[in-house]
A = this chain, B = another copy of it.
């Protein structure tokens, strides 16, 4: 992986890295400087006694200091453990102790969080605040180190050590909605192979002329690999820091001429409203890459129709580095109507070279890939997790190296995969499966609706029936009947939710995914005394 940063430094040394600090102010660096400083960081860690394989953690926003940690820690042969600051304190303590982190680099925003759990961390020897020295803070946090000072312990532009390609480079915990998070290790090899594929025209399509803004956090699956991919192709990188509201993003896109931005659907909802409010047409923006949860069709058409921005729909997981599928059309789709093409764009796409998919039934038998059959999705490939961190080897994968994703999907004969649901969220009504993803997409297509979740409610006759929980856009006026009527003609009658319940907001986990188990325990019994529908 240090060959990535060397390549960027030599051939794209003056390509910019724009970074928004925790104070909201931008700073400018470039690949040459980031390379010099990340070599210095690796050397500082070595000087401090850390050796290859040691875990060093980060709790940071998307910013240039975090980028230097990524490259310096992994390039130095240590393992960069990126931590999600939105985890509950107990989860934070758990992942840090489980990973046996020795150093934590963290942004000022997270000073209190770190300070509060400090006493329960069993292995951490050094706490490094990402800033210049600050006496006031130092006084409150005994033993605190400051990044700019710590860096000075290393030699600028020090040589990288030799690293075997299968050595671990980084570590990220899944944000399981149930149970303890599990650590996923990436290797130098898997990271480079993933980057090689991700840059391709039918994946993210990145060149040296792109200006790339990862809104997906760097603490989540390495920001989908963007830091490595941009180093590989020498693109300009725009790191938005803590301000992920629509207005801040729009301003950044316009001022830095961002050509491609990546993130989850909820982020883009805010962006679309802000574009409207600010009257920006996002002139420079050519593509958004949307993944993490299903992109509602209405969002795709707004991006494409109103702003000329192509939406690249992608699917992946922490365990898959993350690219599993990307939606890029085939030649034969040229002959379809625009509507036909849009239908295809709604699916999560096809696997690039390097990974394979299949769907299996409850008994583990492979199901036909006809676009109709749906089953448990399995994936196999060069950047799919083999073992969770700290778990006995060979416990994670099924036979022949297949990983069980926990998603339910169908695959058509061209290999385009459509996520129907998480397997634990799917609804079984009178023996028939109902996809909550599809029902949510329809609700979000209604102009009065901002967010939507469909969950199973117990039902006397049908076992389970879908109910819709929806968040209105501010000041919108809509009744339950009107919202349910919106489903007419869009799905079969028996798939229409039994109820639409308006709520103030949806509970989400640390990576922004809706906590459906929470909704089920709250609303799961609302139908029980209702007569059969």
The interface of chain A, by Cβ under 8 A from chain B, is 3-4, 7, 10-12, 14-15, 193, 196-197, 199-202, 205-209, 211, 232-234, 236, 328-332, 334, 350-351, 353, 356, 414-415
Contacts and interface: CB of A to CB of B under 8 A. Distances in A.
A49 to B, nearest CB: 30
A350 B12 CA distance: 10
Contact of A415 (B3, B10, B350, B414): B10
A328 B10 contact: no
B202 A233 contact: yes
Nearest to A416: B11
Q: Which of A3, A199, A353 has the most CB of B within 10 A?
A: A353
Nearest to A329: B209
A11 to B, nearest CB: 4
Given A201-B205, A233-B202, A4 B328 contact: no
A353 B329 CA distance: 27
B236 A331 contact: yes
Nearest to A332: B14
Contact of A330 (B206, B234, B350): B234
Number of this chain's copies in the complex: 2
A351 B6 CA distance: 13
10 contacts: A7-B356, A10-B415, A11-B414, A15-B330, A196-B197, A200-B207, A201-B206, A202-B208, A202-B233, A207-B328
A347 to B, nearest CB: 13
A201 B201 CA distance: 6
A15 B201 contact: no
A209 B331 CA distance: 4
Contact of A353 (B7, B205, B236): B7
A356 B3 CA distance: 10
Contact of A208 (B15, B209, B234, B328): B328
Contact of A233 (B234, B332, B353, B415): B353
Q: Which of A4, A208, A211, A232 has the most CB of B within 10 A?
A: A208
A193 B197 CA distance: 10
A207 B193 CA distance: 18
Contacts of A14: 332
Given A201-B201, A236-B331, 18 more contacts: A10-B356, A11-B414, A12-B330, A14-B332, A15-B330, A193-B196, A196-B197, A196-B353, A200-B200, A200-B207, A201-B205, A201-B206, A202-B207, A202-B208, A208-B331, A209-B331, A209-B334, A234-B330
A145 B205 CA distance: 46
- Interface of chain A, main secondary structure: loop
Given A196-B197, A233-B200, A233-B202, A330 B209 contact: yes
A334 B259 CA distance: 14
A283 B172 CA distance: 49
A332 to B, nearest CB: 7
A466 to B, nearest CB: 33
A353 B197 CA distance: 13
A356 B7 CA distance: 8
A54 to B, nearest CB: 27
Contacts of A200: 196, 199-201, 207, 233
Nearest to A195: B353
A87 B234 CA distance: 41
Contacts of A202: 207-208, 233
A97 B385 CA distance: 46
A120 B15 CA distance: 58
B4 A353 contact: yes
A467 to B, nearest CB: 38
A11 B351 contact: yes
Contacts of A206: 201
Contacts of A207: 200-202, 328
Contacts of A7: 353, 356
Contacts of A11: 350-351, 414-415
A7 B52 CA distance: 36
Contacts of A196: 193, 196-197, 200, 353
A160 to B, nearest CB: 14
Given A4-B353, A201-B199, A415-B10, A15 B331 contact: yes
A207 B199 CA distance: 12
Contacts of A4: 353
A37 to B, nearest CB: 21
B201 A353 contact: no
A205 B206 CA distance: 10
Nearest to A413: B13
Contacts of A356: 7, 10
A63 B209 CA distance: 36
A197 B193 CA distance: 10
Contacts of A334: 209
B209 A353 contact: no
